[in-house]
Amino acid sequence: MTLPKLDGALRQFMYGKLHRVTITGAELDYIGSVTVDPVLLRASGILPNTAVDVVNITNGERITTYVIEGTEGEGVICLNGAAAHQFSKGDLAIIMGYEAVPAHDLPGRVSRAVHVDSANKIVSTDEYVTPHPTMLGAPENNRQGQQYETVKA
């Protein structure tokens, strides 16, 4: 078996996500972006003005946009502009931030998942360590079949 070469080529790495957030608004008459509570941004490591993917669990839509800050502590997750066509208040979504990382820096790199309740208050965080290619297939890295336990506010 040949392992992938960990050279300096850049790969997109999902460094942080907000998992199963509840959409609090969809504002069509706005220039664009997703508004996120700064509490959630800090917990996930996602920064304003950076690109994110937003996946709508409710209807399967997926968009790429950028982040702007909302009001601290309000739990806001609002899709703005054209994205408002793809999301409705009350939909569940995942927001994922990515960064370009040299392949040789990926092993050991941590990805953080922030889990929230239905009011977008943090209930837990998980950190996943990226394995080295020689560790692929190790039982402790197997996440197949993991189910998400829903949490109510």
Annotation says 111 is catalytic = no
Dist CA 118 CA 136 (whole Å):
35
Dist CA 112 CA 42 (whole Å):
11
Q: What is the rounded radius of gyration, in angstroms, for the C-alpha atoms of the chain?
A: 17
Of residues 15, 30, 33, 118, which has the active-site annotation? 33
Annotation says 124 is catalytic = no
Q: What is the DSSP string of the chain?
A: -PPPP--S-EEEEEEEEEEEEEP-EEESSSSSEEEE-HHHHHHHT--TT-EEEEEETTT--EEEEEEEE--TTS--EEEEGGGGGT--TT-EEEEEEEEEEEGGG-TT-EEEEEEE-TT--EEEEEEEEPPPGGGTT-GGG--TTPPPPP---
Of residues 15, 30, 44, 66, which has the active-site annotation? 66
Residues taking part in catalysis: 33, 66
